[in-house]
Amino acid sequence: MQNAALARMGIDGVYVAFDVAPERLPEAVAGLQALGVRGVNCTIPHKVALLSLVDELSEEAAFIGAVNTLVFREGKRYGYNTDAPGFLAALRSEGVDPTGCRAVVLGAGGAARAVLVALARAGAELTVANRTLGRAQELAADLNRKLGAGLEVKAVPLCAEALGPELGKADLLVNTTSVGMSPRVEDVPPVPLDAVHAGLFVYDLIYNPLETRLLRETRLRGARGTHGAGMLAHQGAQALELWTGQSAPAELMERVILENLAERS
């Protein structure tokens, strides 16, 4: 998707993948910087290690506790996390305005942190539900402490009884857990379907399969919803924008993802 975007943007550049052993990450970063590359995306297991290898960290990357985009500029290393703004852009491209909306987020891992910080910044009212309640409580407390100013994220267990009342009044449901991801496509988070209503938008971060059982069942109840390919495309587009200072074609990037997924299945 990055190479398709570079071609469309008319940039004489290339995006390539390197497999880097964890113990060689500092050398790899120094080498890339010395070579004069514009920037890097990185993923598991390097996202956390990069926190201590940058000169400056964006507020989102610091809160999420992970760097997924590195920018080399004037001899310095800047660490960003484009998952949070990528999620917001994907949501907005579906016509969902998070400002003032009531959102329920399933899961309390790294992806949930990105989604929650994005929604909190946009002014949503938030509930986080997790199988391990303690993790949701810690995350809610961390958000309330760090983002402060009137924010009150609520933590509940990920079970039908606790979710019922939350979903009834929610505008947005976001699944950040891996429940329903291929190959266990028949798994579904314990969302009480009677509480699902036509005013609910369901954003499932999973993109393999494109239609999870959660999306299918909530659609049957009248909710709108979409898969995670949009967020994947938008976080990539935001990284490209950081490297180039130009706007990146997120729709084209999403189309490339969808074509690749179709070829594989």
Structure tokens at 205: 């971060």
Question: Which member of 1, 40, 67, 108 binds ligand ATR (CB under 6 A)?
Answer: 108
Interaction between residue 135 and ligand ATR (CB under 6 A): yes
The answer to whether 47 is a known catalytic residue is: yes
Question: Which member of 39, 85, 98, 110 binds ligand ATR (CB under 6 A)?
Answer: 110
Stretch that binds ligand ATR, among 4-12, 78-86, 103-111, 224-232 (CB under 6 A): 103-111
- The alpha-helical segments, DSSP class H, found in the chain are 2-9, 25-35, 46-49, 59-64, 83-93, 110-121, 133-147, 160-168, 213-220, 229-244, 250-264
Question: Which member of 5, 158, 191, 200 binds ligand ATR (CB under 6 A)?
Answer: 158
Interaction between residue 197 and ligand ATR (CB under 6 A): no
Interaction between residue 111 and ligand ATR (CB under 6 A): yes
Of 47, 76, 146, 169, which is the active-site residue?
A: 47
Secondary structure element (H or E) that encloses residue 1, with its range: none
Stretch that binds ligand ATR, among 20-28, 164-172, 175-183, 239-247 (CB under 6 A): 175-183
Question: Which member of 69, 137, 177, 212 binds ligand ATR (CB under 6 A)?
Answer: 177
- What is the distance between the alpha carbons of residues 21 and 253, in angstroms, rounded to a whole number? 28
User: 13 — phi, psi (to 5°)?
Assistant: -145, 170
Interaction between residue 140 and ligand ATR (CB under 6 A): no
- Give the residues across from 69 on adjacent strands: 41, 80
Determine the residue with CB nearest ligand ATR: 109
Question: Which member of 3, 52, 132, 260 binds ligand ATR (CB under 6 A)?
Answer: 132
Note the Cα 132 to chain centre separation in Å: 20
Question: Which member of 58, 130, 218, 238 binds ligand ATR (CB under 6 A)?
Answer: 130
User: Residue 88 or 128: which CB sits closer to ligand ATR?
Assistant: 128
3-state secondary structure 90-156: HHHHCCCCCCCCEEEEECCCHHHHHHHHHHHHCCCEEEEEECCHHHHHHHHHHHHHHHCCCCCCEEE
- What is the distance between the alpha carbons of residues 179 and 209, in angstroms, rounded to a whole number? 11
Stretch that binds ligand ATR, among 139-147, 172-180, 209-217, 250-258 (CB under 6 A): 172-180
Interaction between residue 107 and ligand ATR (CB under 6 A): yes
Structure tokens at 16: 């390539």
- What is the distance between the alpha carbons of residues 60 and 156, in angstroms, rounded to a whole number? 24
User: Residue 68 or 226: which CB sits closer to ligand ATR?
Assistant: 68
Is omega for the bond preceding 26 within 30 degrees of 0, making it cis? no
User: Residue 44 or 198: which CB sits closer to ligand ATR?
Assistant: 44
- What is the distance between the alpha carbons of residues 102 and 120, in angstroms, rounded to a whole number? 11
Which residues contribute to the site for ligand ATR (CB under 6 A)?
Answer: 107-112, 130-132, 135, 158, 176-179
Catalytic site positions: 47
